[in-house]
Amino acid sequence: MTIGVLQSTLFGDMFGTAAMRAVFGEAAFLGRCIEVEAALARAQARLGIIPAEAAEAISAAAARLAAEPARLDLDRLKRETATVGYPILPLVRQLADAAGPAGRYLHWGATTQDIMDSAAVLQIRAGLELIEADLDAVRRHLAALARQYRDTPMAGRTHLQHALPVTFGYKAAVWLAALDRHAARLKELRPRVLSVQFGGAAGTLASLGAGEAALRSTAELARELGLAEPAITWHVARDGIVETVQFLALLGGSLGKIAFDVMLMSATEFGEAAEPFVAGRGSSSTMPQKRNPISCELILAAAKALRQQAGLALDAMVSDFERATGPWHVEWIAVPEAFGYAAGALHQSAFMLGGLIVDPKRMAQNLGMTHGLIVAEAVMMGLAPHTGRNEAHDLVYDACRAAIEQNKPLADILLGMPEVAGPLGAERIRALTDPANYLGAAQAMVDRVLGGR
C-alpha cells in the first residue's frame, strides 16, 4: 500500500511521471549511493590511498548489484536502517560482503552524509534534465500559441472585470516570458548545486591527512562522478539544495498561473478556451454535460504542494554546528516530492497547452459585450487634446453611465453628445470605440518575446 499521490497506483501518473519516479525512487537512491561508494574507491585507488585491486573488486561488486538489484537483501537493509537511523552503514555492509576481502577498503574516510548528499546531487542532476526537457516542450507550445494568436483581440481583465483589450497571443507571451526566465534560472543554478560532497566526520577530511593531500580525494571523486569540486565542505550549508526546491516551486507557481487563467477562460460564461478534448476526460458522474478542466486542477494542486515543499526546504537550512540533528531529514521528504510534483505539473501543462482549444469568435463576442466601454480610455485620450484631460474624463464618464443605463453602444451615446461628436466626428468615434484599434504595444511585445524562435 502507498501513502501519498506520487507513488499511488491511481494518481501517480496524474500528479507525477514515471520518468521522475524512476529518478527519485528508492531503488534509484540506493543505486546512486552504491555508485558513489564505487566512485570513491576508484578515485582513492588512483591516489594510492587504497589498493587498485580493491577498487576493482568494489566496482565489480557495485556493477553486479546494479545489474541485479535483487542481490540486495532489502529486508535486512530495512531492519538495520531502522536501528542505525540511516541506510549507509547497512548498505556498506552488504556491498562489503559482495566485494569480499576488498570490502575492508570501502567507504574509506567517508561519512554517511557524504554518500547520501552526493547520491542526492546525482538524482538532482538527472531530475533537472527531465525538468529542462519538459520545460522546453511547454515553452514551444506557448511560443506556437503566441505566434498564432498574436493579433487575436480579447478582453483584458483586471479584478475579474473588463479592463482594456489585449490579444490572446499577448497573454500566451506573458506566460512564455515567465517560463523563459525559469529556463535561465535552471541553467544558472546548476553550478551552485551540482557539486560533490565529501568531508568525512566533521567536514575537514582529517582521516585522510592534512592540507591539499586530503583534498585530492574530493577532487578525484568529483571527477569520477562528473560533478564540481566545492571550495569547502557544504554539508551544513544547504543553500544549493534549497535553491533547487525554490526553483521548482517558482516554476510551479508560473504553471499554476497559466492553469488558473485557462480554467477561468473555460468557464461557461467565458468559453474562450478549453483543454484538449479526450472522450470521457473531465466527465461528471451525475452531469453528462460537464467537461471539467482536469489538467488545470492538477497543475494548481501541484503548485500548492510545491509551495509547501519550498517552505520545508527553507526550514532545513537552519542546522546546528557541523552535523544537523534533524533538519537534514526534512530534505529527504521535500526534494523528491518537489521534483515529483514539478514533473507532474509540467506533464499536465504540456498536454493542456499542446492541444489547447482557442475560440477567437467567443473572445470577440466577450470583447464586444460591453458595447465599447472597454475602450473608454481610448476615447478619453482621443478627446483630451480638444477639451483637456479632466474634461474629457468627465464627458466620457457620463457617456459610459448613459451607455450602461440605456444599454446602448458607447459610440451611439458619444455621437449624440455635441461636446464629443463636434471635435471628433463620427468616423473618429467609430475608430476609437473599436477594441481592435486599442491594443497598444501588445503585438510588439509578443514579437520581442518570440525573438528568433
Compute how many other C-beta atoms are within 10 angstroms of the C-beta atom of residue 28: 17
Distance in angstroms (rounded) separating the CA atoms of residues 198 and 44: 12
Compute how many other C-beta atoms are within 10 angstroms of the C-beta atom of residue 1: 5
For 163, phi then psi, to 5°, come to -115, -80
Which residues have a Cβ under 8 Å from the Cβ of 226 and sit 6 or more positions away? none
Bridge partner list, 274:
357
Active site residue 284: yes
Active site residue 323: yes
Q: Give the angle subtended at the CA of 259 by the CAs of 256 and 261, to the nearest 5°.
A: 110
Residue among 46, 93, 125, 323 flagged as catalytic: 323
Residue among 64, 284, 401, 453 flagged as catalytic: 284
Distance in angstroms (rounded) separating the CA atoms of residues 246 and 240: 10
Distance in angstroms (rounded) separating the CA atoms of residues 212 and 215: 5
Helix (H) / strand (E) containing 55: helix 52-67
Which residues have a Cβ under 8 Å from the Cβ of 134 and sit 6 or more positions away? 343, 346, 347, 350
* Residues written for the chain: 453
Query: Greatest CA span in the chain, whole angstroms?
Result: 102
Burial class (CB in 10 A: 0-12, 13-18, 19+), 95: buried
Grid coordinates standing for 340?
515529483
Grid coordinates standing for 104?
575492508
Which of the residues are catalytic?
Answer: 284, 323
